[in-house]
């Protein structure tokens, strides 16, 4: 067994070890990088060079920027505005979790954090209006999926980092295309859920009874009073800063991570915020997870591991079948593991598939969406947040529904995703 095969085996063991209590995949990946590099005779500086510094700067800058918006109430204000717009129309009320999820992730909120906000809204609306709990949960998570490949979101940032690292040739409009693809996937599932619920008589037509109090992200699955609106100065400063970052990053190709960190720093000074609050919003555990994994992946790449995996997965004369296999690997692994960890692990295989004739944008979309489409199951963080936000009396039924939905997603989800997006 050569060192490339050993590194592949170690990668498999790392994901298996995530089932063990007390194991951290990020730290474990750094340890694995050290061990494999030592066996391969690599210098420590080569391992350190594999750490994704550009990813670190992007995540820190973007999440600090939106941490300011979360702390001063700007994000709550935006969600409250959505709730007031829809009033009591049955279909529009059902769409609130979808819109909230899409808005949050598109503006850089981590999927788990977005779920923690959206799940109570979705299940709170379900309880108050008598709407199906599963439908509301699906709409909320599909909204999160819709914004997942935004240039500001962790998946979008990871995709860009991997594209740059692998020198994959893609058009300049790739970030917009990726976001459009994730939005299309979310919208299609959303429409399917609404049509199915309406056909089964689960979603009423017309107006619903108006809630006594507006709903907010309470974390407990019940209606709560929305927080006091942020001051006008906070709103103008926060939204103006976000707009400036977007214009400079999209229109002038400035580094969004450095921009976000700079604007967040200035906002904290102008608004006299406590720096530790903003720093606490930076997802250090996610940075460790992805940073550790990408460091280990860098070691694997230096030993030719991904060329070896590509050889094993290659179906002669049919690169699209190879992509389908990648989608199933991503979907099955994500059922029990972190979707973003799976995504960044599978991404280095895409250049080889693209070299065989597959559209690189289609391959990225297919793998990313196959990684997250299975997240609606009761065995992961997403499912736990959904169940925790539901009323006690509906949890047993909702658990069974989530499990059935999750298993069905693993079986047919990657195939459907591949069929729609793999050909882009």
pLDDT of residue 212: 41
pLDDT of residue 417: 95
Whole-number Å distance between alpha carbons of 196 and 138: 12
Whole-number Å distance between alpha carbons of 62 and 44: 30
Token pair listed for 346: 């599978």
pLDDT of residue 229: 65
Rg (the chain; Cα; Å): 22
pLDDT of residue 109: 79
pLDDT of residue 117: 80
Whole-number Å distance between alpha carbons of 201 and 406: 23
Whole-number Å distance between alpha carbons of 332 and 374: 8
Whole-number Å distance between alpha carbons of 298 and 55: 14
Three-state DSSP string of 88-141: CEHHHHHHHHHHHHHHHHHCCCCHHHHHHHHHHHHHHHHHHHCCCHHHHHHHHH
Phi and psi of 31, rounded to 5°?
Answer: -65, -40
DSSP 42: -
pLDDT of residue 216: 45
Per-residue pLDDT of the chain (424 residues; tens, 9 = 90+): 899 999 999 999 998 898 888 999 999 999 999 999 999 999 999 999 999 888 788 788 888 998 898 899 887 787 677 667 777 688 888 999 999 899 889 988 778 778 878 888 888 888 878 889 999 999 999 999 999 999 888 899 989 988 988 888 888 889 999 999 999 999 999 999 999 999 988 888 767 655 544 444 444 444 444 455 678 899 999 999 988 987 887 678 788 889 999 999 999 999 999 999 999 988 888 789 888 988 998 899 899 887 788 777 777 778 899 899 999 988 888 886 778 888 988 888 898 889 888 999 999 999 999 999 988 887 677 887 788 788 888 888 998 898 899 889 999 999 999 999 988 8
């Amino acid at each position: 067994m050569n060192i490339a095969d050993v590194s592949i085996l170690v990668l498999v063991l790392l994901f298996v070890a995530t089932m063990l209590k007390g194991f951290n995949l990020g730290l474990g990946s750094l340890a694995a990088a050290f061990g494999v590099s030592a066996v391969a005779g690599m210098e420590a500086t080569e391992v350190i060079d594999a750490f994704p510094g550009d990813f670190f700067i992007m995540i820190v800058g973007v999440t600090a920027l939106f941490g300011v918006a979360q702390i001063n109430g700007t994000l709550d204000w935006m969600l409250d505005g959505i709730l007031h717009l829809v009033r009591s129309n049955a279909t529009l009320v059902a769409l609130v979790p979808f819109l909230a999820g899409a808005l949050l992730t598109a503006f850089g909120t981590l999927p788990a954090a977005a779920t923690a906000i959206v799940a109570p809204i979705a299940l709170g609306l379900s309880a108050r209006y008598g709407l199906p709990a599963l439908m509301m949960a699906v709409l909320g998570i599909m909204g999160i999926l819709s914004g997942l490949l935004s240039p500001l979101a962790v998946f979008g940032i990871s995709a860009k980092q991997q594209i740059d690292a692998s020198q994959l040739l893609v058009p300049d409009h790739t970030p917009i295309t990726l976001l459009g693809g994730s939005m299309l996937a979310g919208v299609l599932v959303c429409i399917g859920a609404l049509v199915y619920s309406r056909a089964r008589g689960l979603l009423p037509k017309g107006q619903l009874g108006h809630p006594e109090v507006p709903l907010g992200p309470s974390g407990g699955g019940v209606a709560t009073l929305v927080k006091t609106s942020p001051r006008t100065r906070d709103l103008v400063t926060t939204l103006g800063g976000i707009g400036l970052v977007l214009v400079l990053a999209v229109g002038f190709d400035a580094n969004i991570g450095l921009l976000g960190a700079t604007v967040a720093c200035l906002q904290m000074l102008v608004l006299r915020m406590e720096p530790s609050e903003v720093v606490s919003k930076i997802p250090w555990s996610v940075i460790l997870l992805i940073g550790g994994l990408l460091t280990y992946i860098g070691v694997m790449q230096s030993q030719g591991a991904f060329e070896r995996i590509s050889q094993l997965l290659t179906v002669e004369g049919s690169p699209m079948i190879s992509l389908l296999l990648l989608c199933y690997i991503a979907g099955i692994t994500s059922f029990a593991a972190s979707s973003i960890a799976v995504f960044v692990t599978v991404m280095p295989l895409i250049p080889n598939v693209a070299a065989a004739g597959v559209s690189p944008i289609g391959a990225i979309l297919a793998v990313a969406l196959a990684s997250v489409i299975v997240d609606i199951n009761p065995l992961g963080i997403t499912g736990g947040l959904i169940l925790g936000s539901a009323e006690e009396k509906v949890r047993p039924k909702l658990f069974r529904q989530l499990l059935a939905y999750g298993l069905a997603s693993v079986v047919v989800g990657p195939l459907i995703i591949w069929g729609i997006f793999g050909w882009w």
